[in-house]
Amino acid sequence: MSRVTRLTPFQPVTIACPICEHEQQHHKIKATLYTEKNRDIDLRPRRVDWNPKVSPKVDPKLYYFWHCKHCNFCADYVFYQSPFKEGNMSPMRFRKHLAKSLDRDPNFPAVLAVLDPSSESEKSDFMRTIRRNLLAIYELEAVEEVRDRECLQIGAYYLRLAWLIRDIKSSKMKADRYKIPTRNLLGKIRKVWPKVALTERDMLMQAVKYYHIGLNKSQVVSTTPMEIQINLIIARIQLQMGALDEGQKALIVAKKKATQFASIAQKKEKEGRLSADDIDRMTTAASKSVSLVRNVETIFEKLRDAKLERKLNEAMDLLKESTETDLEARREILRSKGFEEKVVLKACPPIKKKGLLEFLKSG
C-alpha cells in the first residue's frame, strides 16, 4: 500500500526587515493549495477549501501578518517584503518617518507591552493575529503622511480586523475560545490607545474612512480600474453594515467610471493607435471592471428589495392595528412612523376607479 504524500501549507521565507534590516524567517501560506469561498458582502471568506493532501488545514487569515522580533515592525506579508513600492512614499522615507514617529510617541512602549506580538506565552494563532493586526494599524497610523494620505493599507487592516471579530461571532467554537480573551485584550489596549476601534462596526467604519482618504489623496491610486475597485470595496463595506444609501453612492461612482472606461477602451480599439497588447489589456480591464460593478449592483438590489419587503410587512402589521378606513389617513399613520414614501404607497395603493363596463355591471 503506497503512502500518501502530505503537503505543508507553509512556505518558509527568510527576508530582511524593511525597517531594521535584520534577517528573519517568516512563513507564508502557499496560495495555490487553497481556495477561499462563500464570501460575505465585504469579501470575508467563510470557507477555505484545501488540497486534500495538505496538512494541517489552517485558516490563511491567521498568517497574513509578519512581525519583526528585532524592531517590532508589523505588516502584511506583501507590504513587509516591499513597502510603498508605488507612490511618493519611498521605503527609505517610510523607514525614517516611522522611526521618528514611534520614538516621539510616549504611548508606544505601553501599546507594545499590551500587544506583545512576540510573546512565547501566546499559543493561539488567532489571538496572535489580532495582536499583530492591531500593532500594524497602530504603527501605520503613527506616521502622519501615511495616516493622512497613503492610507489604503490602514483601511485594509481595519477590514481584516473586523473579519476576525466576525469570525468569533460566527462560530460557537471560536466564541468559546476567543471571545473573552479578545474582549480582555481590547479592554487593556484601550487604556493606552483610547481611539482604538473596539467593535466590528467601528472597525468597518474606520476601514471606510481610510479607503475614502486614500481614494482622494493617495498617489498609489493612479488608474481608473483602481478607483473603481476602491469605490466597490467601500460600497461592499457599507452594504455589509446595512448602510444601503451610502453603499449605493459609492456604487454609482464605480458604475459611472466603469462605463466611461469601457467606452474609452472601445474608442481606443477603433482608433487602432495602441498596440494589440495594450488594447487587449485595456479591454480586459474594462470588461472586468464592468463585471465587478454588476456583482455589487446585484447584491445591492437584493438587499434593497429585502429591506422594502421587510418594511412593507411592518407597515401592514401596523395598519392591521388601526380602525382607520380613510386612505389618506392610513397613509399619514405610516408617514408619522417614519416609513419611506414608496413603502407608504405600496402599503396603501390608490383605489382603482371603476371603468365604464365595471360601472354598468355593478349597477
The string of pLDDT tens digits covering residues 91-112 is 899 999 999 999 999 999 999 9
Q: What confidence score (pLDDT) does residue 361 get?
A: 59
CA atoms within 13 A on the CB side of 245: 1
Q: Are 50 and 33 in contact (CB under 8 A)?
A: yes
Flag residues of the chain having pLDDT under 50.
Answer: 1
Tell me the three cell numbers of residue 227. Answer: 478607483
The DSSP-derived string for 283-306 is HHHHHHHHHHHHHHHHHHHHHHHH
Per-residue model confidence (pLDDT) at position 360: 58
What pairing do the DSSP bridges indicate for beta strands 74-76 and 65-67?
antiparallel
Tell me which DSSP letter residue 33 carries. G
State the amino acid at position 217 in one-letter form.
Answer: K
pLDDT of residue 116: 85
Model's pTM, two decimal places? 0.91
Give Cα separations from 281 to 130, 252, 265, 277, 295 (angstroms): 38, 24, 10, 6, 21
pLDDT computed for residue 268 by the predictor = 87
Around 124, how many Cα atoms within 13 Å sit in the side-chain half-sphere?
Answer: 11
Q: What is the DSSP letter of 265?
A: H
74-76 and 23-29: which strand pairing?
unpaired
260-287 residue pLDDT tens: 999 999 998 888 888 889 889 999 999 9
Which residues lie closer than 8 Å to 156 by C-beta, 6 or more apart?
Answer: 76, 207
DSSP 109-161: HHHHHHH-TT-TT---HHHHHHHHHHHHHHHHHHSHHHHHTS-HHHHHHHHHH
Neighbours of 228 (CB within 10 A): 25
What are residue 82's DSSP bridge partners? none
Backbone dihedral angles phi then psi of residue 323, each to the nearest 5 degrees? -95, 0
Compute the distance between CA of residue 318 and CA of residue 314 in angstroms, rounded to an integer. Answer: 6
Report the alpha-carbon distance of residue 355 to residue 98 in Å, rounded: 77
Residue 48 φ then ψ, to 5°: -125, 120
- Measured distance CA(117)–CA(67) in Å, rounded: 7
**Residue 273: count of CB within 10 angstroms of its CB:** 9
Query: Which secondary-structure segment (H or E) carries 87?
Result: none
Contact 177, 62 (CB under 8 A): no
| C-alpha atoms less than 13 angstroms from C-alpha of 300 in its C-beta half-sphere | 24
Task: Report residue 226 as a C-alpha cell.
Answer: 483602481
pLDDT of residue 1: 47
- Quick one: pLDDT at residue 51? 97
